[in-house]
Amino acid sequence: MDSKPSVLVVDDQPINIRLAAKILNDEFEVLAATSGKAALEIAKSNPVDLILLDVMMPEMDGYEVCARLKEDPDTAAVPVIFLTAKSEPGDVVNGFAIGAVDYVSKPFNPRELVLRVRTHVELERCRAELQQLNATKDRFFSIIAHDLRNPFTVLLGFSQLLLDEYDTYSDAERKEALGRIKATSERSRELVENLLTWSRSQTGRLRCRPQSLALSDLAKKSIALAQSSADAKGIAITARIDPDARAICDPNMLETILRNLLTNAIKFTHPGGSVAILARQNGTGVNLVVEDSGVGMAPETAKQMFRLDTHHVTPGTEGEAGTGLGLILCREFAERNQGAIRVESALGKGSRFIVSLRRPAAPSD
């Protein structure tokens, strides 16, 4: 269950705080401060969704408190509603100029107070969500503009060299150039597939249809698709999964998860290394694990792996490019199937990506 939005009520008269708390308690978690100084300390140490701020207070009035809140990056976005008996137009304008979003006059109407608080809490949450969506959009366009352009630079460059210098190249040099073209084409296809899949998911055109899946069969299929990339680096891929192991998941989404995790593991594993797919039962669920003997990653990098609004892309052990979008898809698809994904890793010791999924209920006797 989602927690209640939190509201900080600031008033030097405790009776006003108690009255506001009584009105708001059913829908909001109410915090209290009886001075401007206490309000600033609470807002700084306990993030709140909205502040109800009295104007007329000793030592530090509401206008000064509001101004200080707006100057601090940690509290600047918190909406402030002034609670005041003053209703002169100049006072209202002054409050808005400082950064308040609304006014409620005392003595306040209970229904009006609840509706105004609810409205501004919802508006702020919508603003935060829009900010996140904009960051996601910017990252998405960055992938298209930069990471999709680079492979074509390689493809066009090697193709032109072959056309211009074909007769001067040895068979070995031609084969090497064709190998680069093929490898780059495969990475481009992977990127395009992920972009199209992510786009369909974001626009609601990708439906989730969970069903009971045999993990052993799915692992074999995924390994077959990744085998050529693994062979090119001399990496051994194995599956250690009980034939009876099953999970509840949309088959296309789970295939996408495994494909991206295997691609990622191969990318960051040195030639001659190993990659394995495992399945482990965990209560009513099952953990599908892709582990590698690769380069691993620092803790701060691992924390950013499943976020689209940050850039954490690192070239593979042989300079393979990537976007990070594949791991975003893994997280999104796991969550859409009531699951989760996490990573365990250490520099120089490889990585383990763990996808937690539901397990089919055991048949009744």
Q: Are residues 215 and 356 in the same domain?
A: yes
Q: Are residues 357 and 291 in the same domain?
A: yes
Structure confidence by residue, pLDDT tens digits, 253-288: 999 899 889 988 998 999 999 999 999 888 789 999
Distance between CA atoms of 274 and 279, rounded to whole angstroms? Answer: 17
Q: Kindly report whether the peptide bond that precedes residue 363 is cis, defined as omega within 30 degrees of 0.
A: no
CATH code at position 346: 3.30.565.10
Q: Are residues 201 and 280 in the same domain?
A: no
Band (313; pLDDT cuts 50, 70, 90): low
Q: How far apart are the first and last CA of the chain?
A: 34
- What amino acid is encoded at 209 in this protein? R
Residue with tokens 């972009």: 195
Nearest Cα residue to 6 out of 26, 25, 30, 24:
30
Distance between CA atoms of 134 and 360, rounded to whole angstroms? Answer: 38
Structure confidence by residue, pLDDT tens digits, 3-39: 889 999 999 999 999 999 999 999 999 999 999 999 9
Structure confidence by residue, pLDDT tens digits, 284-305: 899 999 999 998 888 888 777 7
Name the domain boundary from 206, 221, 240.
206
Structure confidence by residue, pLDDT tens digits, 79-130: 999 988 765 566 677 888 889 999 888 888 899 999 999 999 999 999 988 8
Token pair listed for 154: 């390689």
Q: Are residues 288 and 314 in the same domain?
A: yes
Q: Are residues 36 and 65 in the same domain?
A: yes
Structure confidence by residue, pLDDT tens digits, 171-227: 888 888 888 888 778 777 777 777 777 777 767 777 889 999 999 999 998 898 888
Token pair listed for 67: 């101004």
CATH code at position 81: 3.40.50.2300
Under a CB-based contact definition with an 8 Å cutoff, are residues 230 and 268 in contact?
Answer: no
Under a CB-based contact definition with an 8 Å cutoff, are residues 253 and 336 in contact?
Answer: yes
Domain count, the chain: 3
Q: Which residues contact 17 (CB under 8 A, 6 or more apart)?
A: 9, 11, 32, 34
Q: What is the pLDDT of residue 89?
A: 60
Question: Domain containing 233: what range?
Answer: 210-365
Question: Has residue 278 been placed in a domain?
Answer: yes
Q: Angle CA(82)–CA(87)–CA(108) in degrees, nearest 5?
A: 60
Q: What is the pLDDT of residue 365?
A: 39
Structure confidence by residue, pLDDT tens digits, 152-168: 777 888 888 888 888 88
